[in-house]
Amino acid sequence: MLIAAMLSCSTPSSNEKPIAYNAELLQRVRAAASAIPGSAPTAIGYLKYAESVRKWSEVVEGGSDDACKMARTAFQVMYPDGWIMVDAGMDRAVHKFFEKQGPQPFDDAKADSIRRAVENAKLILVTHEHGDHVAGVIRTAATGSVPRKTILTRQQVNSLIEKPQMPEIALTEEKSRQYMVVDVESILPVAPGVVIIKAPGHTRGEIMIYTRLQNGQEFLFTGDITWSYKGIAEKKQKPSGERDRVGEDADAVRKQIAWINELMTKERVTVLVSHDDIMLPQFAAQGLLVGGVRTR
């Protein structure tokens, strides 16, 4: 598996242009998926290792007061000779941050599987700079070569230095130099069949990740742009109180959701929402995803 040679430390851009999420962007993403030579990925695996039990009214705009499980997940893009991790999990210390309203399920064995998958990955990508997505490359698995094979965008690094979600995932300028820090103007191919798409809104450093398999199936990892597949299907954001709490750019997220919905409904792209606990198991049952992750 050949990773893009262009990846390196870079200086921040002072004039960031808004991204137009449209058909032209999709064309460029699809072309970029072929930019790096090598075998395309063969499958995508996913593993749920924890969850937060909330109400739908806290997850999606106009939701009911019925219980809603928010899955904590990590994904694995599998190649014949290894894999890329999309998000890196977290340990119990970071999980406690999400237990402000009481204990929440956490599977130590599954979390350890993600840790080992991260340690043995060829490359690690992080959808955004929140603890349940990035902690595994800063704390749990941040030994040996893990930082050196982890791509962080400049915006992600800036957040982790200037305003980390929690002290446990804070970076310093010195520590950040251990990672592959990249500036992404709009898109960036990083491996055969895999393209980063810049998507600030939920956080400054949010990205989407497009993946095309050898069989032509297309997937889009959407991180926390929404917290449920329902949000994409119905083109609904998080409730306003949650958007304000997190500090989201509602206009940016609205445009991203509309684009993702179009890819899902018109382009047949399979959308993978990190915290969804309804469609991800169904995708695994249908054979679109592999249940579990490889660790060696």
Calpha distance 241→219 (Å, rounded)? 30
pLDDT digits (tens, 9 = 90+) for 60-118: 999 999 999 999 999 999 999 999 999 999 999 999 999 888 899 999 999 999 999 99
Dihedral sign of CA atoms 133, 235, 290, 105 in order: positive
State the DSSP H helix or E strand holding residue 73, giving kind and residue range, or none if neither. strand 67-79
- The pLDDT score that the predictor gives to residue 279 is 97
Backbone angles phi, psi at 220, to 5 degrees: -135, 115
Calpha distance 237→242 (Å, rounded)? 10
Count helices and strands in the chain by DSSP H and E runs:
10, 12
187: nearest Cα among 178, 196, 200? 196
Neighbours of 212 (CB within 10 A): 20
| Alpha-carbon separation of residue 164 from 14, 91, 160, 167, 219 (angstroms) | 21, 17, 4, 7, 29
Domains in the chain, ordered, with CATH? 24-54+67-291 (3.60.15.10)
- The pLDDT score that the predictor gives to residue 245 is 95
**Identity (one letter) of the amino acid at 120?**
N
Calpha distance 129→203 (Å, rounded)? 7
- The pLDDT score that the predictor gives to residue 145 is 86
Model-wide pTM > 0.85: yes
- The pLDDT score that the predictor gives to residue 15 is 57
- The pLDDT score that the predictor gives to residue 13 is 44
The list of the chain residues with pLDDT below 70 reads 1-16, 140-143
Neighbours of 88 (CB within 10 A): 28
Chain centroid offset of residue 239 CA: 21
Chain centroid offset of residue 126 CA: 5
pLDDT digits (tens, 9 = 90+) for 111-129: 999 999 999 999 999 999 9
Calpha distance 212→270 (Å, rounded)? 10
Q: Using an 8 Å Cβ cutoff, are 159 and 255 in contact?
A: no
